[in-house]
C-alpha cells in the first residue's frame, strides 16, 4: 500500500474490508445486508480520513505520520488489545466448555478453540521472532557496553 498517500492507507483498508464483508453478507443475507455493510464501512472510512487529518496522537497514527512516541503508543495499545482478546478467547472457551457440560449440551465447542489456538500460536511465534539473541551471560546487557574493567585494590 506504499503507492497510496499515507493519509489514505487506513481508509482504503476499511473500504476493502467493507467490500469483502459486503460480498460475504450479500451471499448470506441478500442485497440489503450487503448494502448496509458497504455503506457502514464507507462512512467508517470517511471518518478515518477526517480523523487522520487532525493534529492529535491518534490522528497521526491513523494518518500514518506518527513519530517515535506515537508509534510506541500504537505498539502498546496493540499489545493491550492482544492481551484482552487472548483473555476473552480463553474465558469464552471455558464458559462454553462448562456450559456444554451443564446447561447447553448441544453447543459445538470447536469454533471457540480457533481463537484460543491462534492466540497461543501467535504468542509462540512472536516470542520466537522478537526474543533476544545471544548467550545472556551479562544479565541481558551487551558485554561490550559494560566498559573497561577497573582493578580493585585491596588494603
User: Distance between CA 46 and CA 42 in Å, rounded?
Assistant: 6
**How confident is the model over 78-102, as a mean pLDDT?**
84
Residue 146 has pLDDT above 90, yes or no: no
Enumerate the domain spans of the chain: 1-66, 67-132
Q: What angle do CA 8, 13, 15 make, to 5 degrees?
A: 95
Residue 95 has pLDDT above 80, yes or no: yes
Out of 20-24, 84-88, 119-123, the most confident range is 20-24
Q: To which residue does cell 462448562 refer? A: 98
Cell numbers given for 64 = 500514518
**How confident is the model over 76-86, as a mean pLDDT?**
85
Confidence at residue 121, expressed as pLDDT on a 0 to 100 scale: 84
Q: What is the DSSP string of the chain?
A: -TTS-HHHHHHHHHHHHHHHHHHHHHHHH-HHHHHHHHHHHHHHHHHHHHHHTSSSHHHHHHTT---HHHHHHHHHHHHHHHHHHHHHHHHHHHHHHHHHHHT-TT---HHHHHHHHHHHHHHHHHHHHHSPPS--TTTTS-GGGS----PPPP-
Q: Mention every residue, 6+ apart, whose C-beta is less than 8 A from residue 96.
A: 104, 107, 109, 112
Share of the chain above pLDDT 90, in %: 18
**How confident is the model over 130-153, as a mean pLDDT?**
60
Share of the chain above pLDDT 70, in %: 84
pLDDT digits (tens, 9 = 90+) for 46-57: 999 998 888 888
Amino acid at each position: 500500500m506504499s503507492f497510496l498517500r499515507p493519509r489514505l492507507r487506513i481508509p482504503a483498508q476499511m473500504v476493502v474490508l467493507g467490500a469483502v464483508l459486503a460480498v460475504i453478507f450479500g451471499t448470506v443475507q441478500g442485497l440489503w445486508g450487503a448494502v448496509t455493510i458497504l455503506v457502514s464501512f464507507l462512512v467508517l472510512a470517511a471518518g478515518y480520513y477526517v480523523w487522520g487529518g487532525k493534529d492529535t496522537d491518534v490522528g497521526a497514527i491513523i494518518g500514518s505520520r506518527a513519530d517515535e512516541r506515537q508509534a510506541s503508543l500504537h505498539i502498546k495499545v496493540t499489545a493491550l488489545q492482544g492481551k484482552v482478546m487472548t483473555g476473552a478467547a480463553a474465558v469464552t472457551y471455558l464458559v462454553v466448555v462448562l456450559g456444554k457440560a451443564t446447561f447447553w449440551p448441544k453447543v459445538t465447542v470447536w469454533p471457540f478453540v480457533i481463537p484460543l489456538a491462534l492466540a497461543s500460536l501467535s504468542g509462540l511465534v512472536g516470542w520466537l521472532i522478537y526474543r533476544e539473541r545471544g548467550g545472556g551471560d551479562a544479565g541481558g546487557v551487551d558485554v561490550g557496553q559494560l566498559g573497561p574493567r577497573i582493578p580493585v585494590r585491596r588494603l
